[in-house]
Structure 1
């Protein structure tokens, strides 16, 4: 029997926090894999976990900022 992915409505608060944390980890893993695919040569920040985490967070913040600005720039339907 196939398991249907649970929606946020079916989760209680504790599960929502866990769900959000898992989603964020999943996004970070995908992002790191994408960046590793782009850069074939290892850079120095990949060996130091402190700076690596900082740079990953900066990249994630930049991407979120770009998405936000793109969403704000797009015309909204029915917005007057």
Structure 2
């Protein structure tokens, strides 16, 4: 289970922009809307980017609302 301070920290990010990097080199930039017991993250107004290599980032693709499964998340950053 998540500690109380961890939960408070997560709640403090609700409504803020998050950048989530996942294992297949995609990045989701969107507004943190919710999470669940499995720690999946729901973003709204989301753009998806693909990192081709260190120099190349694809144009963003608007994907709206997405749920990102915790098991694929490599990094989460807040703006």
Q: As a proportion of its length, which structure holds more helix? A: 1
User: Aligning the two structures, in what range does the TM-score lie when normalised by the shorter sequence?
Assistant: under 0.3
Larger radius of gyration: 1
Q: As a proportion of its length, which structure holds more strand? A: 2
Report which structure shows greater RCO (CA 8 Å, sep ≥6).
2
Q: When the two structures are superposed, what TM-score results if normalisation uses the length of structure 1?
A: 0.27
